[in-house]
Chain A
Amino acid sequence: MMNAFSELSRRGFLGDILTGLSGVGLIDLLSQGAFGDEAKPAQQTPHFAPKAKRVLQVFCPGAASHMDLWDYKPSLEKMAGKPLPGEENFLSFQGKNGNLMPSPWAFAPAGECGKPITTMLPHMAQHADDIAFIHSMHSKTNTHGPGCVFMNTGHSTEGFPSAGAWLSYALGSANDNLPTYVAIPDVRGEPPNGKANWSNGFLPARHQAIVMSDQLPIRNLARPDRIAEAEDAAARALVAKLNREFAEQYSAESELQARVAAYELAARMQLSAPEVSNLASETDATHQRYGTTDANPLKAAYARNCLLTRRLLERGVRYVNLYCSSRASGVDGLLNWDAHKTLKPDYERHCPIFDQPTAALLADLKQSGLLEDTLVLWTTEFGRMPTHQVGTTGRDHNPDGFTCWMMGAGVQGGVTYGATDEFGRRAEVNPTTVWDFYATVLHLLGFDHEKLTIYHNGLDRRLTDVHGHVIQDILT
């Protein structure tokens, strides 16, 4: 399928339209940047041999509770209803907290490693032997928006490039026909702080994520209804001719050639993107495994996005930012994992949406061998309190301890790094920052996080700010 499209596009466009631009690669042209205006060349040479070639980042916004999903805390059961020692009067994001509250669900050992995982995630539990859990994450903010942006960009204020944009900047594209970096928002809406999560920040605009999902095609991709196909073809041929002539007239200005190339790439994206989005070409069995036909429309929608993710990764998209749930809503815990008031019904809403489709996606990556050079990240912006909020059965924000995990290329499976205290309140063993997390990600991609920089307003900026240590213990 793919080859047919590639052949068609190469013959149809490179053959006919690019005649006259001798031997200049499209991507080369586009990545040079117009008018040589960038502080540095777009593509950086890896600093050492990479283990990972692409990244899948699953993001569960709303602060998915570590001690209710991955970080089993028997002490919460033993001390249920008792005050949290030493923090009886602690004021968190929404104010006062009550007593310790155990997770509403049992945990069960998973895989050969026997990692205890909530029984609410039976499908994900099957991947325990491939996952390196980092239980000692901590954040510098307890607010969703800044927290999400911090987790995605290494800075809690908006305006900085996201990890995917950094990777686009570092490595450029691996596929001429598709975007390098794709963000897939949840059907329920954008995550807290919206587009700042996949922003190019001060990197050139081409490094921003292309936003698409099964429910949301790439904007302006399709030929408008009011333009007939023949008209479109004729018009684009003339655009190409005029722009090529202009580029030839000013042959020293490479950005004019880049512009011809940009129209080419656009045309090829118009062919490739619908192909990659065509989930109908997948078998019924696959759809069943992902849950795309589930009666719960939210789960079905997320499942379709998981399937789309696999197809994007297969076709060389370098970084997919897949969201499971969305922004803060008028009702806490409804649209995302922000269970302030009613943890049990909230997570009984969210876990089934997340569990089966994500697990099916990971199983496919593993089965096809793609996982060998794909780095999978599971992230959320911070954790939740081991106590319940006063007068509720929910938990408040907790930036001092939470769980993220990695899996795939270069990462040991079935291991646990770092720990929170016995209640899950604070990162205690090997406290790990977002910067450490991304230092490790960049390391696996072949980059020294201290050397991947771009100058902006007075500093050589980094994804890891001025911090970060590679977490060697979880690497293969």
Chain B
Amino acid sequence: MKSRPLCFTTLAAIALSFSLLNAAEKKAPVDFEQEVAPLLSQRCVSCHSPNIKKGELSLAGPEDLLANGYVVPGDPAGSYLLEVVSPAGDDPAAMPKLGDALAEPEVALLRRWIEQGAVWPDGFVIREASKADRSWWSLQPLADIHPPEVAAAPAAWRQNPIDRFVWAKLSEANLKPNSPADRRTLIRRATFDLTGLPPTAEEIDTFVASDSPDAYPQLIDRLLASPRYGERWGRHWLDVIRFGESRGFERNQIITNLWPFRDYVIRSINEDKPFDQFIREHLAGDVIAPNTPQVEVGSAFLVAGPYDDVGNQDPAQAAQIRANTIDEIIRASSEAFLGLTIGCARCHDHKFDVISQRDYYAMYATFAGVKHGERAVATSEQRQERDRQLGDLKKQQAELTRQRDDVKKLAIARGESQKEHYAQLWSRPAISRQSTEEKFAPVLAKMIRLEVEGQERDPNSKSGYGIDEFEIWTTGENSQNIALSSAGSTAVGSSRSAGDFDGAYSAALTIDGKFGARWLASGPQLTITLAEPQTVDRILFSSDRPDAAPSHGVANFVSEYRILVSVDGENWTEVANSYNRQPVNDAHRRKRLLAAELTDEDRARSQELETELAAVNKAINQVPALPVWWVGNRSAAPGPFHLFIGGSPQRPADEVTAGSLSGLADSAPKYELPQDAAESERRLQLANWIVDPQNPLPQRVLANRIWQHHFGTGIVNTPNDFGYMGGRPSHPELLEWLAAELVKNDWRLKPLHRQIMLSQTYQQSSEHRTAASQVDGDARLLWRFSPRRLSAEEVRDVILQIAGKLNLEMGGPGFRLYQYLQDNVATYVPLDEHDASTYRRAVYHHNARAARIDLMTEFDSPDCAFSAPRRDETTTPLQALTMLNHDFTLDMAQFLAERLQTEAGDDPQQQVHRAYELCYGRSPTEAETKACISLAGEHGLPALCRVLLNTSELIYLH
């Protein structure tokens, strides 16, 4: 609570005469530190801290109180503070706003304190105390723990240290573990656990038949060596680090080159890369090993979360959005690696944990240079090789381009020398987006066509322009616009598509009588057909009708056109064109001058040069481009950095530099970087500090995650939060031991998996015993192995596997179970049909944010807006509907039926037997066989397969 040694002065000296003080001293002296400070700390400072400053008032120090007349030392009657904490007549006290009013003795204490001169020890700062302090269990150095002696345990439970910890805890609760699971259950459990796939029938048979004591350890080793292991455990990690392949927020554009990061995760886990190294690469891979794509790509972690990329012209909002983006990175990092919710200290000191707002902004400084985006990622060799292959192609390209342009320049120069000639030729006003009118001799027309020959931004393009309204006026006195759809006209013209809303930009918008919405053309023609032939003499069209000056964001308009009319739709007569208008801009002017001035010789020479240039361009394109990946960019972001009051960039306060967390200062080394530390240095230091062997958090957090994925629940059941609001460890000593083992194994996961899976604890059956469940209902003490439902990925993978369709191709761009539509913003429309290109493991699905995916979403695949350290296991009718009716199920049922036919022949008995082997790894009972044969007999084998794919047994593990 104290920030400096106390040095008592009295505020009274500032403002008061001694006589008043003497009067005050007659009462019992108030001890500020013991009496007043705790009261202010508990009741006031949560809102009135320097960082929140409700009502622009901080009670952390005396300054605001004095400056605003809240406290007038020695003058209780004049001190506004007493007024606001006391009831006024029938009205309750105005403050504190939260919780009960101050008790009468508390108000009296404040009054006495003021009477006695409002003594505030010099430099004394009041903080709101967090619920937990530096003595919090998870912040302590790792304890050196030895497994307990469990003499009473059977021999099998005395060998593996894990079992000794578990047994000891069970004994305390007078519980005994289950007996071992049968071998059939065990191989299914272990195979799903490590690979996310079922064992094959043949693997089961071999394992069940073997009585070698080595069979099980060998099984574990085989599974750990399988590439499928990295796919399963990589997915766990991708959940933790909120990996998503679209940008999120309003536009939510898809990201097509973040998959190298997903592959990096799977590869690293398969290689059993030491996790401390893995973490360092996540935070600073680009610093550790520049020009080493396989390491650099790790730092894509920083930009694998959602961010807001809508351009915002309001500078305050833009600053807030940037702060939100960095906040996202702070949260993702601190939750994943430290199991701390540092994000909670953005607006104020953490209410529960010993994380100060200063800590938060130290991390802010660390990540301030991280920008979302893509860039070339390549080795130095790759870059050199590309340069070598390009040779002087680039030079040739430039030279040929120059020569080609020179021909044009000369022609244009000739044209420019005849300014007057062209001024006469192009005498009419330039086309206007507000209103472009053509008058012509009265002509009978049934159809009027706008033939576009160029658009404003690109003289050579004949599409991509917008028209809000196109009018056709009849001749004579009562001239009328007869182009309107309300007059029976129709408009035809190809338009930009908005997949989720047909007709959003259709040509019909040009004749709807309203100016707000435009036809966005994707072709050169707009044809309006009138209800009946009429004599017309005028047309008028526009893209931005209102009579206002041009502004940003206006449509791209037509630049060159012809107007044609027809009575029969076959013979067309041109009635107007833009050729004698002034060109709409310089590019158009040049285009026209070229058309007029290029000589035959010029044209031939140009053609020659174009041919050569095309050849050079082709050669350049054949040199492979460097890979461009979504790994983010860096800006120097030199600071200085400030703490933001209330989290608002508009309220900067004290300066902050990158540094370690204050709450870990007692157990881990400290660092504080100077203000001018380079961006790369800031991230590297953080990475090194996080994985410093002295830092106890990452080890505990990681060991807990491993445990959680094996047993369903972690030793700490809030895997991202080892703070006050999180769960307490069910087996604290075991957690310490596991964390120490992890480090002892050089931060490799595979030895830890092995240790855990070879334990009796892991191998016991899932049998439910009522007596035990009454003591420990959710089996946190591990008296049984808790059954689980398969994850979304496992459900999909297992169906593909048993249908014989699973494509085990690893890596590369993901497949999509949605149609991606982009029209300013992105929309992800779920696909009804999943073709063979989607038959890969679900970890290779292109996981866009906010894309609802049949089956995946229903089976609790997270949206990855945040870290999702554990999956829900919900049971919903939507799951049932999808599993019953989606084309995927029906297709797979068909394939499974074909497979059964192939592998088991025509005998229904054999078919059912094979089906049970594939789906459940067991033989059917007689009754089951009978029921299955009966259904298949009446409705066909695919009908039976559809049933089996909908069974609980397929997706629950014991």
Contacts and interface: CB of A to CB of B under 8 A. Distances in A.
A210 B878 contact: yes
Which bracket fits the contact residues of B?
Answer: 35 or more
A144 B250 contact: yes
A224 B770 CA distance: 43
Interface in A233-257: 234-236, 238-239, 241-243, 246-247, 250, 252-253, 255-256
B712 A35 contact: yes
A94 B551 CA distance: 11
A341 B542 CA distance: 14
Nearest to B250: A145
A345 interface: yes
A35 B843 CA distance: 24
A229 B315 CA distance: 61
Given A30-B875, A159-B865, A195-B850, A241 B551 contact: no
B3 interface: no
B268 interface: no
Interface string A371-400: 000000000000000000111110000010
Interface stretch (B168-176, B220-228, B564-572, B938-946): B938-946
Given A210-B878, A238-B931, A458-B726, A334 B825 contact: no
B885 A34 contact: no
Interface stretch (A122-130, A215-223, A313-321): A215-223
A189 B500 contact: yes
A328 B825 contact: yes
B317 A243 contact: no
Interface string A313-346: 0000000000000111111111100011110111
Contacts of A247: 952
Nearest to A270: B881
Contacts of A231: 939-940, 943
A220 B504 CA distance: 27
A227 interface: yes
A327 B956 contact: no
Contacts of B514: 345, 348-349
B313 interface: yes
B341 A262 contact: no
A60 interface: no
B768 A252 contact: yes
A143 B310 contact: yes
Interface string A21-49: 00000000010011111100000000000
Interface stretch (A6-14, A200-208, A286-294): A200-208
A368 to B, nearest CB: 28
A424 interface: no
A4 interface: no
B106 to A, nearest CB: 23
Contact of A391 (B548, B872, B886): B548
B791 to A, nearest CB: 12
Contacts of B205: none
A218 B852 CA distance: 13
Interface string B825-852: 1011010000000000000000001111
B849 to A, nearest CB: 7
Contacts of B854: 219-220
B768 A459 contact: no
B185 interface: no
Contacts of B635: none
B374 interface: no
Nearest to A90: B314
B498 A329 contact: yes
Interface string B393-412: 00000000000000000000
A205 B857 contact: yes
Interface in B869-892: 869, 872-882, 884-887, 890
B182 to A, nearest CB: 14
B252 A34 contact: no
Given A30-B875, A205-B874, A330-B824, A457 B951 contact: no
A147 to B, nearest CB: 9
B863 to A, nearest CB: 7
B874 A234 contact: no
A161 B815 CA distance: 28
A349 B850 CA distance: 29
Nearest to B550: A391
A266 interface: yes
Interface in A92-145: 92-95, 140-145
Contacts of A154: none
A142 B317 contact: yes
Contacts of B828: 194
B69 interface: no
Given A234-B938, A250-B787, A392-B546, A146 B515 contact: no
A92 B551 CA distance: 15
B312 A35 contact: no
A389 B314 CA distance: 13
A458 B341 contact: yes
A38 B874 CA distance: 9
A334 B504 contact: yes
A255 B958 CA distance: 13
Contact of A242 (B496, B768, B928): B928
A168 B825 CA distance: 29
Interface in A142-163: 142-146, 156-159
B315 A235 contact: no
B520 interface: yes
Contacts of B824: 327-330
Contacts of A94: 313, 552-553
A192 interface: yes
A189 B872 contact: no
Interface string A444-476: 000000000001011110000000000000000
B849 A158 contact: yes
A308 B725 CA distance: 43
B314 A349 contact: no
Interface string B761-776: 0000000101001000
Interface string B172-200: 00000000000000000000000000000
Nearest to A268: B877
B890 A224 contact: yes
Interface stretch (B115-123, B257-265, B716-724): B716-724
Contacts of A143: 249-250, 308, 310, 312, 317, 321
Nearest to B789: A34
B666 interface: no
Contacts of A194: 252, 825, 827-828, 850
Given A222-B885, A224-B887, A460 B725 contact: yes
A243 B939 contact: no
A95 B552 contact: yes
A158 B723 contact: no
30 contacts: A33-B874, A34-B789, A35-B873, A91-B314, A95-B552, A145-B825, A158-B306, A158-B850, A159-B863, A189-B501, A192-B250, A193-B850, A195-B851, A219-B881, A234-B938, A235-B939, A238-B944, A239-B950, A243-B950, A247-B952, A256-B956, A263-B877, A269-B877, A270-B881, A327-B825, A328-B250, A334-B518, A341-B544, A344-B516, A458-B718
Given A193-B250, A256-B952, 16 more contacts: A30-B876, A33-B874, A35-B712, A141-B317, A144-B250, A157-B865, A158-B865, A188-B500, A199-B863, A204-B872, A205-B858, A220-B878, A231-B943, A238-B947, A262-B876, A344-B516
Interface of B: 248-252, 306, 308, 310, 312-315, 317, 320-321, 324, 328, 331, 335, 340-341, 343-344, 352, 466, 496, 498, 500-501, 504-505, 514-518, 520, 544-546, 548-555, 712, 718, 720-721, 723, 725-726, 768, 770, 773, 777-778, 786-789, 823-825, 827-828, 830, 849-852, 854, 857-858, 860, 863, 865-867, 869, 872-882, 884-887, 890, 928, 931-932, 935, 938-940, 943-944, 946-947, 950-953, 956, 958
Q: Shortest 9 CB-CB distances between A and B: which pairs?
A: A145-B250, A159-B865, A391-B551, A458-B341, A252-B768, A266-B880, A345-B516, A266-B877, A34-B873
